[in-house]
Amino acid sequence: METISCDSPALGVDLMPVDEALQRLKMQVAQLKSAESVPLADCLGRVLAKSVSSPINVPPHANSAMDGYAICRADWLGGSNEKYPVSQRIPAGSVGSALDKNTAARIFTGAPIPARADAVVMQEICSTETSGGETFVQIEQIPEVGQNIRCAGEDIELGSVVMNGGHQLRAQDVGLLASIGVSDVEVIRRLKVAVFFTGDEIIDPGKLLQPGQIYNSNRYTLTSMLESWDCEVIDLGNVDDNLVSTVEAFEKASEVADLIITSGGVSVGEEDHIRPALESLGNLDIWRISIKPGKPLAFGNVKQVPFIGLPGNPVSVFATACVLARPFIKAMQGMPFESVEGISMKVGFDLPYITRRREYLRVRMQQDGGNKQALVLFENQSSGVLTSASWADGFAMVEVGRKLEKGDEVEFIPFSFYGL
């Protein structure tokens, strides 16, 4: 008999497919509009508020691509038998004079090409001699016009758009802005995300565990993820597991944040107060997703502030934040709403049951017996085993209705694709 997963089809409410949940989230995005000017040195990871055009050509002038000799090709019609005096020396950072007829200029990488010169000969194919206090150069191979010269504007032309608004700045982007002389950058202000955590059993690290208590890893996982996604985190900490405290936390969060994210309390137990608190202050749009780990996920708004309620299990928090919360956050920050697409890879394990929800298995890339990369599965895929996420370097995404045999291909999504 064919083995199936332990998910029960009798769930009380239909589970929403992941793609439908993403579409619902996309329709609810309200992008931040307010911007601020920040120094270039502080703009890494920030999102451009508007497109940036170059006020200069880069390079600003034609310059030498290497150390050698600048010549006028027409002066060397006699070929490599010619020997001409070196009339000037042009290091980088200085500007030479117009090249005299039938002479060469000693030139260094990055130095401006003197007027009348139209080619640079690399020093390795030149020979020099000194006679009567004057240096002469002979060229083994005469270059073509324009050879070894970087033209003005070759990289960036004056007035051209260098980067579009909505682009998140990486290290190389910061360098590119520096190359056109930008010192301050207009960026979208940081998204303010208020977070709080429910469960009377959770305490913060540094305190002595009492019977029945666990350390609140979710607080540190989630706030670290949000910070890596360039959010301004407003951490409201642990909230007492009752309806009054949950309502108060929601009200406080709605006053200070652009987005509210919670962990825990979104299931249907007697001690799960997120849903009734949410419904008393706002509305619920999404409730329970066909995803594993992370089925009990909620989305709605509290006094017009969007809210995402993540599950309470540690791996569920990590997975749903990556798959569902991150696209919403990026879109609020001014970037396109995009779910992360992975790469096709073979698995080095069997998954003997048929999946009833889209599964995000914690896997690691390793070489198989044939010296090829394959995905290795962490042994314990429980949503409470945070070790699996720390051990892994990505998710193997398995669609509903599949089971896997070694050698099958799945979509592999490295954690680095999520910016983690």
Give yes or no: residues 217 and 267 share one domain: yes
**β-pair type (134-139, 126-131):** antiparallel
The CA radius of gyration of the chain, in Å to the nearest whole number, is 31
206: left (phi over 0), alpha (psi -120 to 50) or beta: left
Question: Of 190, 281, 198, whose CA–CA distance to 237 is shortest?
Answer: 198
Token pair of 310 as six digits? 């993540």
| Residues 187 and 87: beta-carbon distance below 8 Å | no
- Which of 8-12, 60-64, 69-73, 284-288 shows the lowest mean pLDDT across its residues? 8-12
Give yes or no: residues 292 and 194 share one domain: yes
Between CA 244 and CA 276 the distance in angstroms is 10
Give yes or no: residues 127 and 261 share one domain: no
The answer, yes or no, to whether residue 270 has pLDDT greater than 70, is no
| Residues 262 and 223: beta-carbon distance below 8 Å | no
Secondary structure E strands in 242-388: 259-263, 282-287, 291-292, 298-302, 305-310, 343-346, 358-367, 373-377
Give yes or no: residues 365 and 223 share one domain: no
Residue 8 pLDDT: 43
| Residues 211 and 169: beta-carbon distance below 8 Å | no
Average of pLDDT values for 254-268?
86
Between CA 230 and CA 247 the distance in angstroms is 27
Residue 282 pLDDT: 87
Amino acid letter for position 218: N
Average of pLDDT values for 91-96?
94
Residue 264 pLDDT: 83
- Helix, strand, or coil (residue 45): coil
Give yes or no: residues 173 and 47 share one domain: yes
pLDDT digits 0-9 by tens, 135-146: 999 999 888 999
| Residues 135 and 80: beta-carbon distance below 8 Å | no
In a domain, 159, yes or no: no
Residue 6 pLDDT: 38
Give yes or no: residues 197 and 295 share one domain: yes
Give yes or no: residues 180 and 128 share one domain: no
Q: How would residue 313 be classed by pLDDT, with cut points 50, 70 and 90?
A: very high
Give yes or no: residues 287 and 384 share one domain: no
Q: Which of 332, 366, 398 is the last residue of a domain?
A: 332
Q: Could you tell me the CATH number of the domain that includes residue 178?
A: 3.90.105.10
**Model pTM score:** 0.85
For residue 59, cis peptide bond before it (omega within 30 degrees of 0):
yes
Average of pLDDT values for 271-284?
82
| Residues 250 and 277: beta-carbon distance below 8 Å | yes
Question: Of 362, 364, 346, whose CA–CA distance to 409 is shortest?
Answer: 346
Q: Which of 121, 150, 179 is the last residue of a domain?
A: 150
Q: Could you tell me the CATH number of the domain that includes residue 395?
A: 2.40.340.10
- Helix, strand, or coil (residue 228): helix
Q: How would residue 370 be classed by pLDDT, with cut points 50, 70 and 90?
A: low
| Residues 275 and 247: beta-carbon distance below 8 Å | no
Give yes or no: residues 198 and 277 share one domain: yes
In a domain, 71, yes or no: yes
| Residues 188 and 332: beta-carbon distance below 8 Å | no
Q: Could you tell me the CATH number of the domain that includes residue 27?
A: 3.40.980.10
Q: What is the H or E stretch that residue 204 is in?
A: none
pLDDT digits 0-9 by tens, 113-131: 999 999 999 999 999 999 8
pLDDT digits 0-9 by tens, 302-312: 999 999 999 98
Token pair of 59 as six digits? 């390079």
In a domain, 10, yes or no: no
Residue 369 pLDDT: 66
Q: What Å distances lie between residue 280 and 236, 242, 243, 276, 303, CA to CA?
A: 20, 14, 10, 6, 10
Which has more pLDDT, 46 or 77? 46
In a domain, 8, yes or no: no
Amino acid letter for position 380: N
Give yes or no: residues 172 and 276 share one domain: no
Tally of domains within the chain:
4
Which has more pLDDT, 100 or 279? 100
Q: How would residue 272 be classed by pLDDT, with cut points 50, 70 and 90?
A: low
Give yes or no: residues 119 and 195 share one domain: no
Residues near 231 by Cβ (< 8 Å), separated by ≥ 6? 190, 191, 192, 193, 329
Between CA 78 and CA 69 the distance in angstroms is 17
Residue 10 pLDDT: 42
| Residues 45 and 168: beta-carbon distance below 8 Å | yes
Q: Edge-to-edge strand order for the sheet containing 298-302?
A: 231-239, 191-198, 259-263, 305-310, 298-302, 282-287
- Which of 1-5, 109-113, 348-352 shows the lowest mean pLDDT across its residues? 1-5
Domain assignment of residue 217, given as a range: 18-34+190-332
The answer, yes or no, to whether residue 365 has pLDDT greater than 90, is yes
Token pair of 205 as six digits? 């690290």
Q: What Å distances lie between residue 264 and 24, 172, 298, 312, 402, CA to CA?
A: 22, 39, 10, 4, 29
Q: Residue 225: what are its φ and ψ, rounded to 5°?
A: -65, -45
Give yes or no: residues 319 and 354 share one domain: no
The answer, yes or no, to whether residue 9 has pLDDT greater than 70, is no
The answer, yes or no, to whether residue 7 has pLDDT greater than 50, is no
